Chain A
Amino acid sequence: MIPLPKFRYVEPTTLAEAAAILAAEGEDCQILGGGTDLVPSMRQGIFAPKTVLSLQAIDGLGRLEWSESDGLSIGAGVTLRRLETDATLRKLFPMLAQAVSEVASPSIRHMATLGGNLCLDTRCYYYNQSEDWKACSDLCLKVGGEFCKASPGGKAKKCFAVFSADVVPALIALKAQVTLVAKEGERTLDLAAFYSGDGARPNALKPGEILTGVVVPADRVGIKGSYLKYRIRQTIDYPIAGVALALRFGASGVVSEARLVLGGVASKPVLVKGIAELLEGQTLDRARIERAAQLARKAAIPQANTAGQRAHRKQMIHEFTTRAFEDLAREAR
């Protein structure tokens, strides 16, 4: 059996204790949620931390609470299985439940946590490989090489590894806020602002910080949402294109809020620009839906680093955006 690199294992029971260990050990310490992303990467030698810090014994991270004043609060340790089966969540935010249920496979969803999905590492054909495989040619930028081998021409000095978490586009479409805790204190930011777009360092997590959870604001109730995922097989596989659409309809079908987020087609979730300007105050018709789908297609910048040709994945973003709008327009009628 290919063993995991050797490390020390710690399982603190409070957030303060966890933050103290992280502060002391810095980048030598890696956080473990459900391990469904970190463990395969350690197996491939991508990470070899001295210490693995499991969050599973920290109580407060398992919260899943709804209140009409504060919205839906989800702790980083909540499993995807619990999210997809929670009756309140399914009723209030069906798009979120839908996105969760599209992650990986049932057994993985029993293990995987929300925090791990939000902090999912970016992926690439040249990165998610064994050490033996990588030893056969130059290393890519993300593991210490000079260039991003997946970039057009293979000569970019920026990493284009793809962001493939399914839950994140849905949460951003719902304007979720994320909270990060370190020994020095905590900060809260828009989930959309958490992602950098740099494949090599995909999120704003600083060494020592723990993502403790997200909040979906209470005023998001009543939003109609749709998450559509394109993947090679209808199970297990990561998205190679994903569309999360959130719309609010006012009187007589007029759109009062619109937000469209793409996944699997860039190094971060892409909040499509111009959608609110195009649609708010308007009713949905063919021409406007087509215009929105064109904006989405333009915003998608897939690279040759996962399954599916780039042009095809852009085409599927166009197609899925159209479908998502049509589905929600039908629901609103």
Chain B
Amino acid sequence: MTETLSVPAKMPVRLRVNGQNRDLLIEPSASLLQVLREDLALTGTKEVCLLGSCGACTVLIDGKPALSCLVLAMACRGKAITTIEGLMEGGDLHPLQQAFIDKGAVQCGYCTPGMVMVGKALLDEKPNPTAEEARQAIAGNLCRCTGYQQIVEAIVAAPEIARTGSAKRPAGLMDSGPYLMPETGE
């Protein structure tokens, strides 16, 4: 691609991300995904296909699921953006995040943020979704690991976790202890 001579200057924008106003200087051609990951260091939102085919980059825009690789950041001015980093409630995991852990719905984790975001959008619309509704909701999100069943179970189980208030504080990275090689124990 040859660059046009008049490269547009960076533009000042204000984005509302996870309830906070963020003032940024961005290129008009930047995707929302690029701004989230590279300007705001919100790397929870994953980059995979960049073509709308996988759902890993899903965020909520005004509460609705959107593929951030296909959205221009400039087009998000005045809208509320929610990323996976914005789901915790008062230091506790969101019930849906807890459900993903409880049901073993995470393997490599690459699809997980996107799966959680479409699940969250469904739960906001239908507080007690059926397994079929959960399946429909994740229909644009690919997972190469879990086989989907645990993800569906997690979404269906989330309302119960919310009712019992059994979501936990996230384990810090160090809480899991130093990494041990499975073969040698070192």
Contacts and interface: CB of A to CB of B under 8 A. Distances in A.
Interface of A: 1-9, 11, 32, 34-36, 39-40, 43-45, 48, 50, 52, 54, 56, 81, 104-108, 110-111, 131, 234-236
| Shortest beta-carbon contacts, A-B, top 9 | A105-B140, A9-B28, A235-B139, A107-B65, A40-B51, A4-B29, A39-B70, A9-B74, A8-B8
B58 interface: yes
Nearest to B135: A235
Contacts of A48: 1, 4
Question: Contact size class for B?
Answer: 35 or more
B183 interface: no
27 contacts: A1-B38, A2-B50, A3-B29, A3-B34, A6-B7, A6-B8, A6-B29, A9-B8, A9-B75, A11-B74, A34-B70, A36-B67, A40-B51, A43-B50, A45-B1, A52-B72, A56-B75, A104-B140, A105-B139, A106-B65, A106-B136, A107-B118, A110-B64, A111-B70, A111-B71, A236-B139, A236-B140
Interface in B25-80: 27-31, 33-34, 37-38, 47, 50-53, 55, 58, 64-67, 69-72, 74-75
A interface: dominant SS: loop
B3 interface: yes
Given A34-B70, A45-B1, A236-B53, 14 more contacts: A1-B34, A1-B38, A9-B28, A32-B72, A39-B52, A39-B70, A48-B1, A54-B72, A104-B140, A105-B141, A108-B52, A108-B140, A131-B1, A235-B140
B72 A9 contact: yes
Contact of A9 (B1, B29, B137): B29
Contacts of B136: 106
B50 to A, nearest CB: 6
A40 B64 CA distance: 20
Nearest to B136: A106
A1 B47 contact: yes
B34 to A, nearest CB: 6
Nearest to B142: A236
A105 B55 contact: yes
Given A1-B47, A9-B28, A35-B70, A110 B65 contact: yes
A67 to B, nearest CB: 28
A11 B75 CA distance: 8
B51 A43 contact: yes
A318 B51 CA distance: 32
B144 to A, nearest CB: 14
Contacts of B141: 105, 107
A38 to B, nearest CB: 9
B3 A6 contact: yes
A201 B55 CA distance: 30
Contact of B58 (A2, A4, A32, A107): A107
Given A7-B8, A8-B8, A40 B27 contact: no
B1 A107 contact: no
Contacts of B4: 6, 48, 50
Nearest to B31: A4
A32 B52 CA distance: 16
A81 B140 CA distance: 14
A188 B67 CA distance: 33
Contacts of A34: 70
A106 B140 contact: yes
Nearest to B78: A57
B123 to A, nearest CB: 14
Given A2-B50, A43-B50, A111 B72 contact: no
Contacts of A52: 28-29, 72
Nearest to B5: A50
B37 A35 contact: no
Interface string B1-17: 10110111001000000
B102 to A, nearest CB: 25
A4 B28 CA distance: 10
A32 B28 CA distance: 13
A26 to B, nearest CB: 15
A204 B127 CA distance: 46
Contacts of B8: 6-9
